[in-house]
Amino acid sequence: MQFGIFTVGDVTTDPTTGKTPTEHERIKATVEIAKKAEEIGLDVFATGEHHNPPFIASAPTTTLAYIGAQTKNIILSTSTTLITTTDPVLIAENYAKLQHLTDGRVDLMMGRGNTGPVYPWFGKDIRQGINLAVENYALLRRLWTEDVVDWQGRFRTPLQGYTSTPRPLDGVAPFVWHGSIRSPEIAEQAAYYGDGFFHNHIFWPASHTKQMVALYRKRFAHYGHGTEDQAIVGLGGQFFMRKNSQDAKNEFRPYFDNAPVYGHGPSMEDFTEATPLTVGSPQEVIERTLSFREYVGDYQRQLYLIDHAGLPLKTVLEQLDLYGEILPTLRKEFESLRKPGVPDAPTHASLVEKAGGPHDSTVYAAGDDATGTSDRDLDDPEVAKVLEGEL
């Protein structure tokens, strides 16, 4: 079982002080939070992807590479990578490069995001969201698994003899989770490929989460990847802890009441009853988290959102210290409950072992240092005309 945190990178006013961090402060705070996550022994740090105010979560590979250079063990992931509006060629390059820089401490979560206007910002049609997710991911897989790709689809220009560089580290692509809150098509896509399915789980009742995960498990088995219990599942979650439960409620209430996402809506008590949000003592967080297993079965990854709603960095780091205190108990309890045969979450090491060991996947292509043109290309009459200045 992997435990970690994820961030959406919101820049939100602290309702108790009226202070709004600058983009610079929020970006630097994200790095400190990730480093603290490794310090307390978490397995995963993940960042979302947004391209508009009030978020600083654009350019996720830049953020993760910088964090990777200052950490040694923690897996760096996304929550999510926008497969609908980001060119699959760019995703293939960026995350393979990140794999090499971090010695394999990378996986990623594909998703469509929750900001509708992002589609026209990147020249896409939101009405094609599902179709874009399906086609773009199919191309991404080929770019990672085939050295030379010829491809033609509906939503981008064709590729002819294209090689994505760098090739994946050790010949193994990063593991992919497919994140979805409400779309059964994405659960189906994850099952079809035998990838992981991540249900964000922070705004929805247990009944909805149970239904989505059950669909994914059933289809995972249908496609012959293993039994339903062997499907790879991840969940999101939220908590705010203090040693004393009432102290946690009193401190978090103004943040909840004014949060951009769910503020000025249901009461904190109603929201915590209806969703996985837990505000209380460490023991309450332990018990609530263990209860997730009752409706989704054994699962492989638990990520929490804890740095949102204007919480200051000092408070977030205190939350991580408390998380570190309950982490051994969570690990022990989940392990004791796990059914025989339920797999661990995939890692780069386990994927390399499954592939029969590491191999150098570098494509050693002949080329001209100035133009990148290979000897084979020089035989093409049209290429020769260009080089001779005739076109």
Cα torsion at 332, 338, 343, 344 (round to 10°)?
-20
Mean pLDDT, range 116-141, rounded to an integer: 82
Structure confidence at residue 116 (pLDDT): 65
Range of the domain at 54: 2-360
How far is Cα 189 from Cα 195, in angstroms, rounded to an integer? 8
Structure confidence at residue 391 (pLDDT): 45
Any domain includes 87: yes
Model-level pTM?
0.91
Any domain includes 379: no
Q: Which positions ≥6 away from 274 have C-beta within 8 Å?
A: 205, 266
Structure confidence at residue 379 (pLDDT): 57
Query: Which residues sit opposite 199 in a β-bridge?
Result: 235
pLDDT at 205 over 90: no
Contact 2, 75 (CB under 8 A): yes
Any domain includes 52: yes
How far is Cα 190 from Cα 176, in angstroms, rounded to an integer? 9
CATH assignment of the domain containing 328: 3.20.20.30
Any domain includes 173: yes
**Total number of domains in the chain:** 1
Any domain includes 387: no
Any domain includes 388: no
Any domain includes 155: yes
> How do residues 1-45 score in pLDDT, each as one tens digit?
999 999 999 999 999 999 999 999 999 999 999 999 999 999 999
Structure confidence at residue 112 (pLDDT): 74
Structure confidence at residue 113 (pLDDT): 65
Structure confidence at residue 374 as a pLDDT band (50, 70, 90): low
Any domain includes 390: no
> How do residues 233-274 score in pLDDT, each as one tens digit?
999 999 999 999 999 999 999 999 999 888 888 999 999 999
